[in-house]
Structure 1
Amino acid sequence: MRYSKGRWIASYLDTYSLDCTLSPIIHAGLSKFHDVLEKRNKEGGCLGVPNEYMKNEADWVTDQDVQDWLDDIKKMMYAFKNKEPDMKHYNFSLEMVPVPGGVAKEGMSIPYTIECDNEEEKARYYADLDVHEKKVQEGLNLFGAKFKSLWW
């Protein structure tokens, strides 16, 4: 994907996995947005905190309001970083084993089963993967809900 003559151009290959094409671009934008808001807050000029984060109407914007907004931006960033747990960091392996006595049907291969050498580690991997997917979904939901609030 590139910017040319005042507009964005997507190639045919960019569309193959558009989520993978857009994720690093969105992550970079959110990361810079977070850094700018954090710096502006330290300098005393943080604007752009959505109204629903302002809990005390007597005060303008509290440090806690800003921190809650920055925390949600980090959750959005996590969704677009998409660094899921890597199976190689877990102490288990999977092996495809032919089913004993299995017969290949016409046009198909011999039936296989997948065997695991460490079910506890496999369960830990899938639990971590589930936590990751929930965090990604939370960030994506926040991004959709707060899309029009991404300004300062």
Structure 2
Amino acid sequence: MSNKRTSSGDGPHQRQLRVGELIRRTLSDVLNRAEIHDPDLNRMSITVGEVSCSTDLKVATVYVMPLMGSVPVEEAIAALARNKAELRHRVASQLTLKYAPDLRFRPDETFDRLDETRRLFADPRVIKDLEASEGDADAEDDADTPPGGTA
């Protein structure tokens, strides 16, 4: 029998999620305490929104965003990339993994997607469709209820 396990789901495994969260916390703490020896990076307030790990846990993609647009996101990512080796060393010292993951920094676009979603829900056509679908659901509920009582 094979020792290889396959998953029927397409999402990340529990271990990937757990390691990603530990890396996120570690990086947040290191950046918050300004432990890196780069004055440019230490002047920036950077939020680590999410870390996603590859299935073998050798690559960690770190999604970052400067707080309140204090610096351009490209500048923050460049500063983090310059200090990738030291950040990787800090992560490795905090975690008990066989390999220290390679850190790759990307802009966190979560807030942009939230703004777009809010804009879509504020669209009058979408509001009209939502109200219509709620009316249909209420009508179905009424049809399922027997006359003179509850189901």
Structure 2-normalised TM-score? 0.26
Structure 1-normalised TM-score? 0.26
The structure where strand makes up a greater share of residues is 2
